[in-house]
């Protein structure tokens, strides 16, 4: 059978093909499945996927911790994970959820949850590592008990800035100041990692409080992993011109800055719950020798 198309039909088909190609670079996972999205990186059966792939538990005992990593890699994304942390006496343990690239000069965005003695608050430790250089720590207490239920921890990473959020409330912002000589993670694909491990040397009160192994195993739980992320399997990096449709799901990519309401929430968290900020550490940076990004964002 033969057929022909007029110019109007041909244009319509072309638009459909281009749209399909653009959408192929946008990975949208609305209902996560840990079986499909992650591999166990270490710890064997200490990493368990339950409830038909909807729940991940990671455990630590005196032999080993455990961890998983995403099968996919991406450049830029809005990534959410609901986490319920180790309850009761979790001193010395570190549960994590972070993004990282590979190699000697890697990029990384960190949520690390530092365990505590029963009744004391968890510390949420954040860091931004660019080209293998970190030392950009900010630490927070939360305004809720993170062991009693699941809470959503989110990265928004686009060409303009990085935003750490908890239950939709921003807690930390890192702007792209590459034009001023501040390295920004925009050239390396990252994977998503979660783990639990022995942080005896530093996790609780600077390492003064050690793990009580009689309480093992220590278990953190993860669910509702969701991502909107730019993925290009051929290795070509994402750009607003070639990799995205105009779907509402992509608004995170084009966001330039926080709106006034989000800025107010960020200030509230930093005024009331921040307990360490490298940008105010005069012992590390004497005589006002703070990194450039600190002079702009603080």
Catalytic residue of the set 73, 112, 173, 293: 112
**Distance between CA 65 and CA 198 in Å, rounded?**
7
**Residue 67, both tokens:** 């961890």
Strand order in the sheet with 274-277: 38-42, 66-70, 191-198, 93-100, 108-114, 123-129, 138-140, 274-277
**Distance between CA 208 and CA 156 in Å, rounded?**
34
Catalytic residue of the set 108, 120, 178, 293: 108
Q: Is 108 helix (H, G, I), strand (E, B) or coil?
A: strand
**Distance between CA 122 and CA 120 in Å, rounded?**
7
Helix (H) or strand (E) run with residue 16 in it = helix 7-24
**Distance between CA 149 and CA 144 in Å, rounded?**
9
Residue 112 is among the residues annotated as catalytic for this protein: yes
Neighbours of 1 (CB within 10 A): 2
The answer to whether the CB of 157 falls within 8 A of the CB of 108 is no
Among left, alpha and beta (phi > 0; psi -120 to 50; other), residue 56 is beta
Of 21, 65, 74, the residue nearest 196 (C-alpha) = 65
**Distance between CA 270 and CA 205 in Å, rounded?**
21
Helix (H) or strand (E) run with residue 9 in it = helix 7-24
* DSSP structure class, residue 217: P
**Residue 7, both tokens:** 């110019």
Residue 54 is among the residues annotated as catalytic for this protein: no
Catalytic residues: 108, 112
């Amino acid at each position: 059978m033969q057929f022909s198309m007029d110019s109007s039909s041909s244009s319509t088909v072309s638009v459909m093909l281009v749209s399909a190609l653009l959408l192929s670079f946008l990975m949208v996972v609305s209902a996560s499945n840990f079986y499909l999205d992650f591999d166990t990186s270490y710890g064997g059966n200490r990493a368990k996927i339950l409830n038909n792939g909807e729940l991940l538990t990671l455990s630590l005992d005196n032999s080993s911790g455990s961890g998983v990593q995403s099968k996919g890699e991406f450049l830029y994304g809005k990534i959410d994970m609901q986490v319920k942390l180790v309850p009761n006496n979790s001193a010395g343990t570190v549960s994590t959820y972070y993004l990282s690239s590979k190699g000697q000069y890697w990029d990384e965005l960190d949520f690390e949850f530092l365990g505590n003695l029963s009744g004391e608050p968890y510390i949420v430790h954040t860091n931004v590592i660019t080209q293998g250089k970190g030392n950009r720590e900010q630490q927070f207490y939360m305004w809720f008990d993170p062991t009693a239920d699941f809470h959503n921890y989110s990265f928004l990473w686009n060409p303009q800035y990085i935003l750490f959020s908890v239950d939709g409330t921003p807690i930390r912002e890192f702007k792209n100041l590459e034009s001023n000589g501040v390295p920004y993670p925009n050239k390396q694909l990252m994977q998503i990692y979660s783990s639990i491990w022995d942080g005896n040397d530093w996790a609780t009160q600077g390492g003064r409080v050690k793990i009580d192994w009689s309480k093992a195993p220590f278990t953190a739980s993860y669910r509702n992993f969701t991502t909107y992320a730019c993925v290009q399997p051929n290795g070509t990096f994402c750009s607003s011109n070639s990799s995205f449709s105009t779907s509402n799901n992509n608004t995170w990519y084009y966001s330039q800055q926080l709106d006034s309401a989000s800025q107010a929430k960020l200030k509230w968290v930093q005024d009331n719950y921040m307990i360490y900020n490298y940008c105010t550490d005069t012992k590390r940076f004497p005589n006002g020798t703070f990194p450039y990004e600190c002079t702009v964002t603080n």
